[in-house]
Amino acid sequence: MRVLIIEDDPAIAANLYDFLEARGHSVDAAADGLTALHLAVTHEFDGILLDLGLPGIDGIALCRKLREEAHLDTPILIVTARDTLDDKLKGFEHGADDYLVKPFALKEVEARLLALHKRHTGKLVSRTLQAGELTLDPKTLSIRFAGAAVKLPPKCIRLLERLMSEPGRVFGRRELETEVWGDTQESSDTLRSHMHILRRALIDAGGRDPIETVHGIGYRLRSDAT
Ligand code: CA
């Protein structure tokens, strides 16, 4: 596995680094948020170990940036001395996948990273989705339409991914809401506004709107989307 350690305590960082490297993993380390952010967007990692108490950008803020700004979906394992429920919830809320309280056993860190990685790769569709001139790589989340790269918020990517999984099929509003937002009762405006952002971004890329509104039912991707 390629692992990024984000930890400002040099002794803990060195411990993690040495252990993981000795176990055959390829390891990078950052002692502050900015370095971490730079490494995370310029290199590919299979897992990120994130300490919450960091100088500069706090770990929770960094977690949010990695998810929302850098659009990374790499599994994030938070390691921290804070053990209150609030901190755990905040971590999950901002995109962390798992949580380990210091002091921890190095073997457990590795086991959790491996488990997260396995779950993550199991979820990924191995092939790039394509419909006409529209492509979506579920691994990198990169999207291209009419020859141009398209940047989208995570929920819009999820919506597009679902529509692209079966071009031409009509997806009901409720079905899309449940799949993208889970069981939380979102107002119909949430889906509509995300659909608007998605379609606007695709049109701005230079192609014809590949999504059709099916009145009274939902949406579908035109099977000839170009
Ligand atoms: Ca720290």
Q: How far is the CA of 65 from the centre of ligand 1 (A)?
A: 18
Q: How far is the CA of 26 from the centre of ligand 1 (A)?
A: 22
Q: How far is the CA of 83 from the centre of ligand 1 (A)?
A: 14
Q: How far is the CA of 81 from the centre of ligand 1 (A)?
A: 8
Any domain includes 62: yes
Q: Do 89 and 166 fall into the same domain?
A: no
Is 50 exceeded by the pLDDT of residue 12? Answer: yes
Q: How far is the CA of 8 from the centre of ligand 1 (A)?
A: 5
Question: Taken in order 148, 152, 158, 163, is the CA torsion positive or negative?
Answer: negative
Q: Do 134 and 74 fall into the same domain?
A: no
Q: Do 17 and 106 fall into the same domain?
A: yes
| Neighbouring C-beta atoms of residue 198, cutoff 10 Å | 25
Helices 173-181 and 188-204 pack at an angle, to 10 degrees, of 90
Burial of 142 (0-12, 13-18, 19+ CB in 10 A): middle
Total domains, the chain: 2
∠ CA(126), CA(137), CA(142), 5° rounding?
155
Q: What is the DSSP code string of 10-62? A: HHHHHHHHHHHHHTT-EEEEESSHHHHHHHHHHS--SEEEEESS-SSS-HHHH
Which value, in Å, is the radius of gyration of the alpha carbons in the chain? Answer: 20
Is 60 exceeded by the pLDDT of residue 226? Answer: no
Q: How far is the CA of 203 from the centre of ligand 1 (A)?
A: 44
Any domain includes 226: no
CA distances from residue 89 to 81, 86, 95, 183, 199 in whole angstroms, order as listed? 15, 5, 10, 18, 33
Q: 121, 143, 172 — which closes off a domain? A: 121
Q: Do 155 and 53 fall into the same domain?
A: no
When pLDDT is cut at 50, 70 and 90, the band that residue 8 belongs to is very high
Q: How far is the CA of 5 from the centre of ligand 1 (A)?
A: 12
pTM of structure: 0.56
Q: 78, 99, 121 — which closes off a domain? A: 121
Q: How far is the CA of 85 from the centre of ligand 1 (A)?
A: 18
Q: What is the mean pLDDT of residues 173-180?
A: 85
Q: How far is the CA of 53 from the centre of ligand 1 (A)?
A: 4
The pLDDT tens digits for 185-200 are 666 688 999 999 999 9
The pLDDT tens digits for 203-219 are 999 888 999 999 999 99
Q: How far is the CA of 159 from the centre of ligand 1 (A)?
A: 37
Any domain includes 112: yes
Q: How far is the CA of 190 from the centre of ligand 1 (A)?
A: 37
Contact 165, 222 (CB under 8 A): no
Domain range for residue 60? 2-121
Cα of 14 vs its chain's centroid, Å: 27
Q: At 205, which CATH number?
A: 1.10.10.10
